[in-house]
Amino acid sequence: MKMMWQRNINKNLLFMKMNYFFAYGAYAPIVPFISTIGKQRGYSAFVMGIALTALQIPSLIVRPTLGSITDVYKCRRFMFLAGEVLFALVVIGLVFIPGATASEMIDDKIVFETMLFWAFFCIIFLLCLGAVIRSIMEDTICVSLLGDNVNNYGRQKVWGSIGYGVVSIISGASVDWFSKGKDYKDYRPGYVISFFFSIMDIYVSTGIKVVQVKKNKTIGGDLKNVATDFRVIIFFISIICFGFLMAFIQNFLFWYLEDITNLYHPEIKPWIKTVQGLFLITQYFLSEVPLYFLSSFIIKRIGHMNVFSLAFLALSIRFMLYSLIKNPIIALSVEILHGFTNALTESAAVAYAAKLSPVGAEGTMQGLIGMALLGIGTPLGNFVGGYLIKSLGSIITFRLMSIVAIIVCIIQATMSLIINRIYRHEDNPVQTS
């Protein structure tokens, strides 16, 4: 006879939580360090901005296409596992790609003529492709498992933040430890940790039950109705703006940290990867975890789109604080805002997309959201961020982004008020025929 607690456990959601933990644990040693790995190789912020922009091509093309294909052919499980396997294989490639260091920045034109840069770029491109494939399937499967309880998405995704935070500090400390006595950072310990978590993720994911609802009507007709809804248009524009601004933090925050360390606190340089690991554990473990748990409550109280207004305000504050602080240890306190600018917003976006989606087109809708965020907003942020940081420096660039964020906040909040006034009597955001 099973115990009461055993009967109350949703096995599928348990495996989903474990998947998020191991998947984001696999990301932690690599993804946040891509720009600084390039910096160590002598690539300028502009070069890395272009590279990071190109890395988002899979998000622009693959996300909506893959979502539609898996909706039509009912192959979410296969593509989910395929993305995980590709990611794991590419991590092995990172271990063996020749390392490179440079004492100063290499001329941009020369960088693009070297085979080593293109080998590095291709490996990272495939890594991002694997991450894109598994992430869209992961969120779609999670939303399907939750059903009418989609606002509880944050309680599943929170385990990704826990994995990311825990692994990031372990990985950062390992890289610093194995780099003792060297004038460069040896990232191979992080790659090994990433590979281990990738294998565990594949193993756990095989236990997740994937159910797809059969669709009798054409998905294209339903999505046409969705795409012409004013609320959906504002939602997508908000997603693009959010991706643009978050790109500066996701891909250039560590660049900024290394800049202020070199300028004001060179004594911290030997342990900079550990410090960066502390930033990640603060972001994902101390900040995101509480906000993921509270996301359902907050979204129900203030609404999906008002969450975006709150996020843009928090982003403006973050950027301004970054531009004023000169000590990386003190800058660590700013990361307590990360949950408002990432976890809460992501939960609102996924839940709102699921609410807008026609039955049977969940994968397509999540793919379109991913395209807006990672295929349009983030690439624009990467390109503009790389150019501005090379031209103005990271500190002035972050101050400028603080002004941009508050302007976006005001405009987006105004649009939300208009939407609430126009559609306040409707329960369902989008009606499909």
Q: How does DSSP assign 389-421, residue by residue?
A: HHHH-HHHHHHHHHHHHHHHHHHHHHHHHHHHH
pLDDT band at 103 (very low <50, low <70, confident <90, very high): confident
Average pLDDT over residues 259-269: 93
What domains, with CATH codes, occur in the chain? 16-209+216-422 (1.20.1250.20)
pLDDT band at 102 (very low <50, low <70, confident <90, very high): confident
Rounded to two decimals, the pTM is 0.81
Give me the amino acid identity at 24.
Answer: Y
Distances (CA, A) of 386 to 50, 84, 141, 392, 394: 7, 29, 35, 10, 9
Q: What pLDDT does residue 9 have?
A: 63
Q: Is the pLDDT score of 135 beyond 70?
A: yes
Distances (CA, A) of 291 to 178, 268, 318: 34, 31, 17
Over residues 11-58, the pLDDT tens digits come to 778 999 999 999 999 999 999 899 999 999 999 999 999 999 988 877
Cα–Cα distance measured from residue 356 to residue 114, given in angstroms and rounded to the nearest whole number:
47
Residue of 153, 119, 71 lying closest to 351 (CA atoms) = 153
Over residues 225-255, the pLDDT tens digits come to 666 678 888 899 999 999 999 999 999 999 9
Q: Is the pLDDT score of 100 beyond 90?
A: no
Axis crossing angle, helix 230-264 with helix 362-370, rounded to the nearest 10: 40
Q: Which own/partner contact pairs does 74-81 have at CB distance under 8 Å and 24+ positions apart?
A: 74/212, 76/137, 76/140, 76/141, 76/210, 76/212, 76/363, 77/141, 77/208, 77/210, 79/133, 79/137, 80/133, 80/134, 80/137, 80/138, 80/141, 80/205, 80/208, 80/210, 81/202, 81/205, 81/206
Give me the amino acid identity at 156.
Answer: Q
Average pLDDT over residues 291-311: 91
Q: What pLDDT does residue 431 have?
A: 41
DSSP for 341-353, written as a single string = IIIHHHHHHHHHH
27 φ/ψ angles, rounded to the nearest 5 degrees: -70, -40
**Chain-wide mean pLDDT for the chain?**
86
Q: What pLDDT does residue 205 have?
A: 93
Cα–Cα distance measured from residue 119 to residue 179, given in angstroms and rounded to the nearest whole number:
23
pLDDT band at 215 (very low <50, low <70, confident <90, very high): low
Six token digits for residue 25: 């644990």
CA angle 84, 149, 373 (to 5 degrees): 50
Six token digits for residue 361: 């087109």
Q: Is the pLDDT score of 151 beyond 70?
A: yes
The residue assigned the tokens 């295929």 is 375
209 φ/ψ angles, rounded to the nearest 5 degrees: -80, 130
Cα–Cα distance measured from residue 398 to residue 394, given in angstroms and rounded to the nearest whole number:
6
Cα–Cα distance measured from residue 124 to residue 117, given in angstroms and rounded to the nearest whole number:
11
